[in-house]
């Protein structure tokens, strides 16, 4: 019975892969997309100017950034917070990097360099 189930899964996976070959939609790199309308442009500016800096500030306040300095031997101390705190900082860095790849911002770029190094 297990052999029949395995064969069915393999056959189904093969068909799914074949179907995608002729799929009419192709992915586009986000750097090839320009958002310049009034609604989304303002949302991106708010993200760059308010949300991302606020998230970095919260990461500073909760010791998320210090945790990396401690782990790297650049600072004395012990890990603070929940074990998933590292991923929170990674996501803020990712958001900042996406913003910087489509909208240059010297202040945000400089801050991001400081966090990473």
6-50: per-residue pLDDT in tens?
455 555 655 555 556 777 888 888 888 888 889 998 999 999 999
Contact 52, 108 (CB under 8 A): yes
pLDDT for 39 equals 93
pLDDT for 70 equals 94
pLDDT for 25 equals 87
pLDDT for 12 equals 60
pLDDT for 5 equals 46
Residues 112 and 101: their CA atoms lie apart, in Å, by 13
Of 2-6, 48-52, 67-71, 92-96, the poorest mean pLDDT is in 2-6
Domain ranges of the chain: 32-116
Kindly state the tokens that stand for 20.
């995608």
Kindly state the tokens that stand for 90.
């990674």
Contact 63, 81 (CB under 8 A): yes
Among 10, 112, 13, 8, smallest CA distance to 65 is for 112
Helix (H, G, I), strand (E, B) or coil at 58: helix
Which ranges constitute the DSSP H helices of the chain? 2-21, 38-46, 52-61, 64-71, 85-102, 106-116
Kindly state the tokens that stand for 78.
């012990």
Tens of pLDDT along 61-89? Answer: 999 999 999 999 999 999 988 888 899 99
């Amino acid at each position: 019975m297990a052999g029949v189930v395995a064969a069915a899964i393999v056959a189904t996976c093969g068909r799914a892969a074949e179907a995608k070959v002729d799929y009419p939609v192709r992915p586009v790199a986000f750097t090839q997309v320009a958002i310049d309308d009034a609604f989304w442009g303002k949302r991106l500016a708010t993200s760059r100017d308010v949300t991302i800096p606020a998230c970095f500030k919260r990461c500073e306040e909760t010791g998320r950034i210090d945790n990396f300095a401690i782990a790297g031997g650049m600072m004395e101390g012990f890990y603070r917070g929940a074990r998933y705190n590292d991923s929170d900082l990674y996501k803020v860095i990712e958001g900042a990097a996406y913003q910087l790849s489509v909208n240059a911002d010297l202040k945000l770029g400089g801050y991001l360099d400081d966090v990473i190094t």
